[in-house]
Amino acid sequence: MRVTVNGEEREIISASVNALLSELDYEGTHFAIAVNYDVLPKSRWSETVLKSGDEIEIITPRQGG
């Protein structure tokens, strides 16, 4: 299915947010996920089903000042 991840259209096979993170090789737990502008708590990552056309933002913290 086609979704937009961080502003880039992609063809993915994942059906859930957790599966998408694995497919995109994201490791760790220090990031936030928004699907269609709805920020998801980590407890909902495995149950949130992705649909074609979804807009997904994966936000990772950056150190700086």
Angle 63-64-65 (CA atoms, 0-180°, nearest 5)? 145
**pLDDT classification of 65: cutoffs 50, 70, 90:** low
Identity at 2, one-letter amino acid code: R
The domain that holds 30 is classified in CATH as 3.10.20.30
HSE (CB half, 13 Å, CA atoms) of 5? 17
* Residue 35: domain span: 2-59
Tell whether 65 is covered by a domain.
no
- Quick check: pTM over 0.85? yes
pLDDT band at 62 (very low <50, low <70, confident <90, very high): confident
- Please provide the average confidence, as pLDDT, over all residues in the chain: 93
Query: In angstroms, what CA-CA distances link 27 with 11, 24, 42, 48, 53?
Result: 20, 9, 14, 18, 24
- Give me the pLDDT at residue 2, please: 97
Q: What does the pLDDT read at residue 61?
A: 80
Specify if 43 maps to a domain: yes
